[in-house]
Amino acid sequence: MSHSPCGGPPALDQRTDTHSSDPGGRLLRVLGLAFGIAVSVGSAIGSGILRFPGEVAARLPSPGLFLGVWIAGGMYALVSAPSMAELGTMMPRAGGAYLYAQRALGPYPAFIVGWSGWVGGCASAAAVATILAEYLGGFSPAVAAHPFSLALLLLFPFPLLHWRGVRWGSGAQQLTTFLKLLAFTALIAACFLVPAAGPRPEAVVRPAPTGPALFVPLMLALQGVMFTYGGWAAPVGFSEELHHP
């Protein structure tokens, strides 16, 4: 089945049975809008927002620089989202950025894009599990002594869910995103509603780097920001399985 010259989406099979693919080799469209929103929100709002703001502030001890890098990361995602949305609509096939690079640049650049995306996805999942294990270790010294073992245990159920079926993975994504939003809402509310336990110590603020010395901490801070925002384009990887990509 070929695409139109204008890149319009072909008429794909609309069946919604539980198998992962049809005899023609196309994935079935069994995912909806709720999953698309959940995977985007759940991927972009992860454990990075709990880990990296402190590191960014340590590297850029200036309110202007600190807020500036977070605004820059948000603007990057904002201006890039329409392009990814258009590509996902024009080419509703599995593969995401790999597919777009293949069409535009050829097989070898697409291989690099696809391989780096796969490695980045695995590394991101491992980082999220490790950060979560470190936070859970604060509740128990026994848990804190084995953070990597706990991280593996946290990751283990998710391959089983995806092996069980796409619908199971979709339901798990929507549930975990909903719980994550509740937790973050409660945390934000607590910051404003729960009174401080005592007088706050005076903060020791280092002078912010300037000139050429600013380049390295700025790049490292942006790296943490982009990791935190990373995942906003996750829905395009599921374009072939979405009812309305």
Give the tens place of pLDDT for each residue, 11-66. 333 333 344 444 456 788 888 888 888 888 887 777 678 778 888 998 888 888 99
Q: How many CB atoms lie within 10 A of CB 96?
A: 23
Assess if residue 236 is contained within a domain.
Answer: yes
pLDDT at 110: 93
Q: In angstroms, rounded to a whole number, what is the distance separating the alpha carbons of residues 231 and 198?
A: 38
CA angle (191, 194, 195) in 5-degree steps: 110
pLDDT at 67: 93
Assess if residue 226 is contained within a domain.
Answer: no
Domains in the chain: how many in total? 1
Q: Are 177 and 44 spatial neighbours (Cβ–Cβ below 8 Å)?
A: no
pLDDT at 203: 66
Record the tokens describing residue 29, joined without a space.
Answer: 């469209």
Assess if residue 210 is contained within a domain.
Answer: no
Q: Is 21 helix (H, G, I), strand (E, B) or coil?
A: strand
Q: In angstroms, rounded to a whole number, what is the distance separating the alpha carbons of residues 153 and 158?
A: 10
Q: Model confidence at 204, in pLDDT bands (50, 70, 90)?
A: low
Tell me if the pTM is above 0.75: no
Give mean pLDDT, residues 160-170.
84
CA 119 → CA 16, 89, 98, 173, distances in Å?
31, 25, 13, 21
Give mean pLDDT, residues 188-192.
89
Give mean pLDDT, residues 140-165.
84
Assess if residue 2 is contained within a domain.
Answer: no
Q: In angstroms, rounded to a whole number, what is the distance separating the alpha carbons of residues 151 and 217?
A: 29
Give the tens place of pLDDT for each residue, 118-152. 888 888 788 888 888 888 888 888 778 888 888 88
Assess if residue 171 is contained within a domain.
Answer: yes
Q: What is the mean pLDDT of the chain?
A: 81
Assess if residue 215 is contained within a domain.
Answer: no
Question: What is the extent of the structural domain holding 131?
Answer: 33-191+231-241
Assess if residue 79 is contained within a domain.
Answer: yes
Assess if residue 209 is contained within a domain.
Answer: no
Q: In angstroms, rounded to a whole number, what is the distance separating the alpha carbons of residues 212 and 227?
A: 24
